[in-house]
Amino acid sequence: MVMVEAVFVIGLVGVMIYGVASLFLRPQEQQHRPPSLTGKWRVVHYDAKQETHVVLQKVSASGTTVLDEHVVATLRCDDAEYDDKFLAAMSTARQRQALFEAEEGA
């Protein structure tokens, strides 16, 4: 019985050593974003369900495929301050467009 316990303890210690060693010795995954697809950023807005969505889209060179989309603002169509909020959202979206284009150009 002592022999079975000894084999069990040695096996358990071996599994623990293997787990710790594999944790520290495996290659570190790099934490970076995948390369972005080439395209052009554009500011758009569309209405859906009584809301206006102001978004920044990255589209393919042909302009037919949306590669990425960032929602800048969502506005209720019946909001009393709709015009001011819409113009502010469009301005913010254009600023982000310039920022994203500058980052990709660097």
> Has residue 27 been placed in a domain?
no
pLDDT tens across 48-94, in order? 899 999 999 998 888 788 888 889 999 998 889 999 999 999 999 99
Q: Map tokens 């710790």 to a residue.
A: 20
If you count them, how many residues does the chain have? 106
> Has residue 12 been placed in a domain?
no
The structural domain count of the chain equals 1
Asked if residues 72 and 88 have their Cβ atoms less than 8 Å apart, the reply is no
pLDDT tens across 15-43, in order? 888 888 887 777 665 444 455 567 889 99
The whole-number pLDDT of residue 104 equals: 80
Q: Report the chain's mean pLDDT, rounded to a whole number.
A: 84
The conformation of residue 26, written as its DSSP 8-state character, comes to: S
**What is the C-alpha to C-alpha distance for residues 101 and 95, in angstroms, rounded to an integer?**
10
Its domain, for residue 51, covers: 40-105
**What is the C-alpha to C-alpha distance for residues 20 and 89, in angstroms, rounded to an integer?**
51
Secondary structure (3-state) at 90? helix
**What is the C-alpha to C-alpha distance for residues 44 and 51, in angstroms, rounded to an integer?**
14
Full-model pTM? 0.59
